[in-house]
């Protein structure tokens, strides 16, 4: 038996070594056979597997209470891995308008491959059963949704799907495993843009899919075939981010609740979406399926038009005008101009997002610093 490649020093290093090797010398033909036949853990080529990446996969699987996890190069790569692994020509896919805008681009590719897609509003998720067909193969959703933080009842969707052969895939990027564990609510696959809250520092790009060992094997086949294995350095950064993940998630949720309560009823805010507020339409469901808070994401409408939203953002001094989310810094953007730029103009407002809607990802700064910054920026309108 070869020594553990991560502990060749007699004592276990506190940081998983970054193994940049593309290939590995075989100790013997028998060792090669044992590795390729799955009789022993080992590595042959980076596109197949990497010890640094594998360590992060094990950590993420534990966080989602999954049998295993597969990590790849980005959140959208993870979503695409799922589509390519499980969908074929003639299959029916149900998506929600309320998901990250890049799915629209991927949907165009899927339609060229002969996959039929139904788009629903997350507000109508309770009626999803009416859209289930014999050829329905997959339902993919986000909760809370991007960017309006609508809440979808995961267990309710699982029950409404009615058939075990319909894969329920939940993007858990907004909630993170700190607040929600979709597998425990009936999901088959849990997807993350690990670029966001899991990494948390705006310095890496990665995607993850947590699931059963059987799903891991299926997804591994696709990842190995198309070559989207994460690089070892990014995996090391992700592992570092996971060490402080729970502390950051707790602080972000606490800060977000403080800000949401501060904004509620403000005369220059016409709509506010944060699942932790009792006034949120999905609060009851969120309270049932989210734990230890309601996450660090919210959205709200500023003033009367997009110019008001732009003026508000330009007046902020501590909150950064940038895309992405889940980082230590608070980030704000106008979805119509950023995350929804992938969508045709007529689709940007169909599910409730307005030109003056802003999306706020709350960071770990002192809450009084953030509320003071928001207050002074609103006063400039």
Tell me, yes or no, whether 61 lies in a domain. yes
The stretch 223-251 carries a mean pLDDT of 98
The stretch 301-329 carries a mean pLDDT of 98
Using the predicted structure, report yes or no on whether residue 318 has a pLDDT greater than 70: yes
Q: Compute the chain's Rg from CA coordinates.
A: 22
Using the predicted structure, report yes or no on whether residue 8 has a pLDDT greater than 90: no
Cβ-proximal residues to 284 (8 Å cutoff; 6+ apart), any chain: none
Tell me, yes or no, whether 4 lies in a domain. no
The stretch 117-134 carries a mean pLDDT of 93
At which of 188, 220, 243 does a domain end? Answer: 243
pLDDT at 38: 85
113 and 229 belong to one structural domain: yes
219 and 235 belong to one structural domain: yes
Q: Which of 212, 226, 270, 264 is nearest to 85 (CA)?
A: 226
Tell me, yes or no, whether 90 lies in a domain. yes
Q: β-pairing, 297-302 with 357-361?
A: antiparallel
pLDDT at 178: 98
Q: Distance between the two ends of the chain, CA-based, in angstroms?
A: 69
64 and 149 belong to one structural domain: yes
Using the predicted structure, report yes or no on whether residue 3 has a pLDDT greater than 90: no
Q: What are 262-300's pLDDT values in tens digits?
A: 999 999 999 999 999 999 999 999 999 999 999 999 999
232 and 257 belong to one structural domain: no
Using the predicted structure, report yes or no on whether residue 345 has a pLDDT greater than 90: no
Instruction: Give the total number of structural domains in the chain.
Output: 2
Domain boundaries, position 188: 29-243
Using the predicted structure, report yes or no on whether residue 193 has a pLDDT greater than 60: yes
Tell me, yes or no, whether 8 lies in a domain. no
**CATH number of the domain to which 47 belongs:** 3.40.640.10
275 and 138 belong to one structural domain: no
253 and 339 belong to one structural domain: yes
Using the predicted structure, report yes or no on whether residue 5 has a pLDDT greater than 60: no
Task: Give the helix ranges, DSSP H, for 267-366.
Answer: 283-289, 306-315
234 and 289 belong to one structural domain: no
Tell me, yes or no, whether 16 lies in a domain. no
Q: What are 70-91's pLDDT values in tens digits?
A: 999 999 999 999 999 999 999 9
Tell me, yes or no, whether 340 lies in a domain. yes
Tell me, yes or no, whether 89 lies in a domain. yes
When pLDDT is cut at 50, 70 and 90, the band that residue 40 belongs to is confident
Cis peptide before 301 (omega within 30 of 0): no
* pTM, two decimal places: 0.94
Average pLDDT score over the chain: 95
60 and 203 belong to one structural domain: yes
51 and 106 belong to one structural domain: yes
- Cα distance between residue 244 and residue 256, in whole Å: 18
The stretch 330-350 carries a mean pLDDT of 90
Tell me, yes or no, whether 217 lies in a domain. yes
The stretch 16-34 carries a mean pLDDT of 93
The stretch 34-63 carries a mean pLDDT of 94
74 and 216 belong to one structural domain: yes
106 and 237 belong to one structural domain: yes
When pLDDT is cut at 50, 70 and 90, the band that residue 2 belongs to is very low
- What are the residues facing 45 on neighbouring strands? 23
Percentages (nearest 5) of helix, strand, coil residues in the chain: 40, 15, 45
At which of 227, 243, 259 does a domain end? Answer: 243
DSSP state of 9: T
| Higher-pLDDT residue of 278, 101 | 278
326 and 216 belong to one structural domain: no
Using the predicted structure, report yes or no on whether residue 342 has a pLDDT greater than 90: no
**CATH number of the domain to which 372 belongs:** 3.90.1150.10
At which of 201, 227, 243 does a domain end? Answer: 243
Residues with catalytic roles: 47, 100, 171, 196
């Amino acid at each position: 038996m070869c020594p553990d490649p991560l502990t060749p020093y007699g004592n276990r290093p506190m940081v998983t070594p970054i193994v940049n090797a593309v290939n590995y010398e075989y100790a013997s033909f028998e060792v090669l056979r044992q590795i390729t036949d799955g009789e022993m853990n080992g590595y042959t080529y980076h596109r197949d597997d990497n010890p640094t990446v594998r360590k992060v996969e094990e950590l993420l699987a534990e966080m989602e209470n999954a049998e295993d996890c597969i990590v790849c190069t980005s959140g959208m790569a993870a979503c695409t891995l799922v589509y390519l692994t499980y969908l074929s020509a003639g299959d029916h896919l149900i998506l929600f308008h309320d998901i990250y805008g890049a799915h629209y681009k991927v949907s165009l590719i899927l339609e060229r491959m002969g996959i039929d897609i139904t788009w629903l509003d997350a507000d109508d998720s309770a009626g999803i059963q009416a859209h289930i067909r014999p050829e329905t193969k997959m339902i993919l959703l986000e909760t809370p949704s991007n960017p309006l933080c609508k809440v979808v009842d995961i267990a309710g969707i699982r029950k409404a799907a009615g058939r075990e052969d319909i894969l329920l895939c939940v993007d858990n990027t907004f909630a993170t495993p700190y607040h929600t564990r979709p597998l425990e609510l009936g999901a088959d696959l849990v997807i993350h843009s690990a670029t966001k809250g899991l990494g948390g520092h705006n310095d890496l790009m990665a995607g993850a899919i947590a699931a059963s060992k059987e799903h891991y094997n299926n997804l591994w086949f696709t990842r190995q075939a198309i070559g989207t294995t994460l690089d070892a350095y990014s995996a090391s950064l992700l592992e570092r981010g996971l060490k402080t993940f729970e502390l950051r998630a707790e602080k972000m949720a606490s800060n977000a609740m403080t800000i949401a309560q501060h904004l509620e009823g403000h005369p220059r805010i016409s709509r506010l979406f944060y699942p932790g507020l009792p006034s949120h339409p999905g609060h009851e469901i969120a309270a049932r399926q989210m734990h230890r808070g309601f996450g660090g994401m919210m959205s709200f409408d500023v003033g009367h038009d997009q110019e008001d939203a732009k003026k508000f953002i330009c007046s902020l001094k501590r909150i950064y005008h940038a895309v992405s989310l889940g980082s230590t810094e608070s980030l704000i953007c106008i979805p119509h101009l950023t995350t929804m730029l992938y969508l045709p103009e007529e689709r940007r407002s169909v599910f409730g997002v307005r030109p003056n809607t802003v999306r706020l990802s709350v960071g770990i700064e002192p809450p009084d610093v953030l509320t003071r910054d928001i207050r002074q920026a609103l006063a400039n309108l």
